Amino acid sequence: MDEWYRIDNTGKIFHAVSDTTNSSVFRVAMILKEQVDPECLQSALDIVAVRFPTLTVRVRKGLFWDFMEHNDEQLLVKQEVDYPCAPIDRKENNAYLIRVLYYEQRISVEIFHSLTDGGGAMEFLKTLVYQYLRLKEHDVTADDKVLRPEDSPKREETEDSFERYATSHSVRRPEKRGEKAYQIEGKTLDPPGIHVVHGVVDASALNRHAKSLGTSLTGLLTSVLIDVVHEEKIGQGSPEGNVVIALPISLRRAFPSETLRNFFSVANIGVPMDGYMQFDDIIGTVTEQLVEKTDKARLQQGINRFVSLQSSLFIRATPVFLKYPIMRFGFNQIGERAKTMTLSNLGNLALPESMKPHVERMEIILYPTRKSPINCGVGTLNDQLTVTFARSIEESTIIRSFFRRLRQMTGLEVMVYSNRWGEER
């Protein structure tokens, strides 16, 4: 097989901006109800890897754009020894940009963001766990909720849906540079790495609570985050400023697509704080912006702007060694500057009923970056919502306040655990 793929429109950015402080590697994981059997997991992976050709690739260098080529080497499962979302060492990993890890009851898939987004990664993980459970001789069925390993990959799964849904390639005006958001600062962990803390909550009860406040689950979590970040700002003696939470929005809902590559947009939800803002006001503003910024017409504008920017001949014909530093500058000065933190909610995972009894819950870990040293990933499975904070700095007051506030506000039990990176043992 000698397939090759252009890196998709979003993927190009991650390719340009990743470095030691920004691994661009995120994790999706499932906790099973039994210990993971590594040999069985390897057998499952050998079968599943072929089903996802756009994820099992290596990156090659090109003059104007890098690209992805089919990788013939075996993708090996590994026991987890390092911190989550560590940069992927291509040599150690047979040049793959994806790694499959196991630890006790957890199966994790860590992926370089150039290959896919949370939606694509979750499809891969679901199929992997499905095949693993089948090999363990559990009676599971795919029920149209899992991509079956024995099916051939569809053309639609490998398409760049940005190109498909762009209605105009001539939007020349770049997006207005957003106002600078408050940015969290802190001392880098020693040794440098990523500390994660997970909090598990009853998903239905939390959802009911959100509805009673007139918002969605994402709206509630975003509002609590904004409030605790603001509290931290007040503690630092600067109550005024913009607290902005960047929410990745999967475009698959508004623009039907089966793509397993990147297809998402980002909605920056910002609340200008003044020290007198009440929580109800925050919820109101957040909910309003969520509706406004996820409107289909608005998302369409974003797709068009994004595609037209990259279809400009001038940009395309600039060699990568010039283009990447410019993209890095743009990412830091426009994207990163305009947000305080990212909160990525992959929602309630649709899993076949037959698989649910074998799986406890899921975890989403979003890598921190230099300007966004604390990020948050959320995922729901089996009615258990797991909120995961990943941080690269020692300061953790915001995270502590978030879970305390969630407990106080809802009265729901919160179970927390962490990887204790950087802590004295």
Partner 1 sequence: MNRCPECDVMTVHRRCPLCQTELSEAQAAIRWYPDYDRKQQRIRARISRLAIFIGILAVLVCFFINLIVLPQFLWVFYVAVAVFYALVSLSHTILSASHIGGKITAQVISLTIVLLVIDAMSGAVQWSVDYVVPALIIAGILVITIIMVTVRLKWTGYVSFLLMMIGLGFVPAVLYLTGLATVLWPSLVAALYAVATFALMLVFANQAFMTQLGRRFHL
What does the binding site for partner 1 look like in residue numbers (CB under 8 A)? 2, 4, 6, 60-65, 67, 69, 72, 79-83, 89-92, 103-104, 106, 190-193, 197-199, 313, 316-317, 396, 399-400, 403-404, 407-408, 413-421, 423, 425
Q: Which is nearer to partner 1, 50 or 63 (CB)?
A: 63
State in angstroms the smallest separation of the CB of 72 from partner 1. 8
Q: Which is nearer to partner 1, 21 or 216 (CB)?
A: 21
Other Cβ atoms within 10 Å of 321 Cβ, number: 9
List phi, psi (to 5°) of 106.
-100, 135
Q: Which is nearer to partner 1, 67 or 324 (CB)?
A: 67
3 state SS for 81-134: CCCCCCCCCCCCCCCCCEEEEEECCEEEEEEECCCCCHHHHHHHHHHHHHHHHH
CA pair distance 19, 331, nearest whole angstrom? 13
State in angstroms the smallest separation of the CB of 90 from partner 1. 6
Q: Which is nearer to partner 1, 81 or 322 (CB)?
A: 81
CA pair distance 135, 137, nearest whole angstrom? 5
Give the DSSP H or E segment for 363: strand 359-365
List phi, psi (to 5°) of 153.
-65, 140
Strand 415-418, strand 384-391: pairing: unpaired
State in angstroms the smallest separation of the CB of 336 from partner 1. 23
Amino acid letter, residue 265: S
Among residues 346, 350, 344, 164, the alpha carbon closest in space to that of 257 is found at 164
Nearest-5° Cα angle at 105, 247 to 117: 25
State in angstroms the smallest separation of the CB of 177 from partner 1. 27
State in angstroms the smallest separation of the CB of 4 from partner 1. 5
State in angstroms the smallest separation of the CB of 76 from partner 1. 16
CA pair distance 140, 230, nearest whole angstrom? 47
3-state helix, strand, coil in the chain (%, to 5): 35, 25, 40
Task: Report yes or no: 158 and 54 within 8 Å, Cβ to Cβ.
Answer: yes
State in angstroms the smallest separation of the CB of 357 from partner 1. 19
State in angstroms the smallest separation of the CB of 416 from partner 1. 5
State in angstroms the smallest separation of the CB of 260 from partner 1. 21
Q: Which is nearer to partner 1, 91 or 176 (CB)?
A: 91
Q: Which is nearer to partner 1, 3 or 274 (CB)?
A: 3
Q: Which is nearer to partner 1, 335 or 422 (CB)?
A: 422
State in angstroms the smallest separation of the CB of 2 from partner 1. 8
Q: Which is nearer to partner 1, 150 or 190 (CB)?
A: 190
Torsion, Cα 381 384 386 387, to 10 degrees, reads 120
Q: Which is nearer to partner 1, 344 or 386 (CB)?
A: 386
CA pair distance 25, 108, nearest whole angstrom? 12
CB-based contacts of 117: which residues, under 8 Å, 6+ apart? 10, 248, 250, 261, 262, 263, 264
Q: Which is nearer to partner 1, 102 or 130 (CB)?
A: 102
